Structure 1
């Protein structure tokens, strides 16, 4: 894997460079009134919901700091959302923090409110979908390591978690077949979201203002108030820029840092964790290592060699009902089939000859017609019924030659000519 690809493995951010400051994707702004008191605030949640916080995503602690930084005069919060979602419990805590705030909260989905972000949006006092925005709801997912009992326990836990999510959706939109909607990973357009009841309207909601209020204490809290004349002053503009820069720097410094990591998304363990004896034995068996005393280093080296080996060239899938056979085996099968066919033909020829010979012996046909009847049976096996239907003794078996100038087989000739008109008498 190249260094470029390694750098792209960064949780939510992927190949996109993470923001330099928290304010790049999560911030709060207030709109000052003429007397300097802000009554409306905008909080932008433009990133994943993640308990790590910092630039990993938006955590409960981040939201708490922003809410604490808002002036007491704020009566309405416009929560602008563009988030792929994230951790369920973190989102549940955020929606409850917003519900506990004294201000009215209007959720505005600017782009996407997916997964955990969807029930934050749906839980607000009012939910507005911007034009072209979407909402996505799905069942919670997780991962587990262990035996069958561990897996069943994890599945039961996920069912409980889903019921908590459904309570949030049902409180907003009423009773629906939420289990099916979640299981199918339902994507909703802006109008679909309103129709389902998870949003109240599709509209454009204006921002509160442009003053950033991100910070952890009063020293870095930037809340602008005053008149337009104050903002237009060059000195004030410079001071404002300096305060915003200081707030961003402090927010970066205060952001929680992931534990011991060489770079974002890659954990570097400071102490080696030994393999369990059972795990080591299982890996040895699967790698085909017969030495029961093989060390961890030997097993890991064999594992590295196995995964480094080139993958077998994939073969095209055969149509249903078609089976691949080795060429030499196919030739043998063909030869065996030909030999069997020849043996069967010989059996059938012998059976036809025996049938005709029995008819000659019974006086049904004359010996002179034997070859004709053999050929007739070969051409049409049904002729055996006709042959069997001829009267016994029709041809005297003791007479040979011609009597009174009449061929002894003349009657049988007439019968054969009627049955097989294309044949000529002998």
Structure 2
């Protein structure tokens, strides 16, 4: 039950600013609401640990249970930890109830309570800590170490709640996982789900696009520039070839009974080779003769493929890998050519940036986007004398100077 519903009687009316936690107390139970960004500034920027903990400190004596209603995109790690520890320090039993979403810092605040309850259709979102730094290599290394320490600290909260290891959660957090109520319960973060099955889908209207990691990279979406369109040099986006390649690899996985979809081309080919080797054992009595192995039974989930068809699949997989490499090279050429035409880099730097794209495409694209346009002149500066000479010759011809035509 949400005591903050607008149809409550005027005597229990709250302030218009929902982000300031104003407790509702009844029968020894205090209900607080965390419905905004967790931010150290507080005020219009969100709810700070100072504001939230002041509300906890003001609770009357005799409170035996604190119910924390959550619909928050999270925010600053340290303020989130301060809120969590204030709840831990209070003698009352704490119950976090996720009503919309408990994301980022709000997720470990919820997980750190004595009980975490998911409302029907609510969600949890976990990810690695994000920070920003400016300085030399030493500063950047220190910033990276700080973030890794924070990740382990956050993972320890999930681990204590779920019974899974810290390493398990350190492996899950980089995936930027959105978990449904059922998935949160299955993972061990949530203790139970409450609410009617017919309840409408509850989603928070918070913009969390900064956390998104397109194509699996670790750079915030805002730092990435768009890849060249298909009209740019090199024809980098070839949808038909890409679809055919994906169909081919999907067919290989299906025939081999492989459920893992993140295998590289090399790993998929290795699986093909291994399966072929297992099916093509030579006859010791007649090694020169071509034999067909007799298969009495196949492991569950396996698919038996005729040797010729299997060899053809290998050949097609090799062609698919080559096509994929060619498409990637064309895309990289298009990215560099576009940067040159926009005057971001010099043509002499082409080979350098092509090599950088091969090592870290997302990071290089982001770096190119930071270079101002027009830094390197790409338009013609001045004119050669050949054009002027041509004009002079044309004028001389009109005047009849230097003509070789003879009059009759």
TM-score w.r.t. the length of structure 2 is 0.44
Higher relative contact order (CA 8 A, sep 6+): 1
Larger radius of gyration: 1
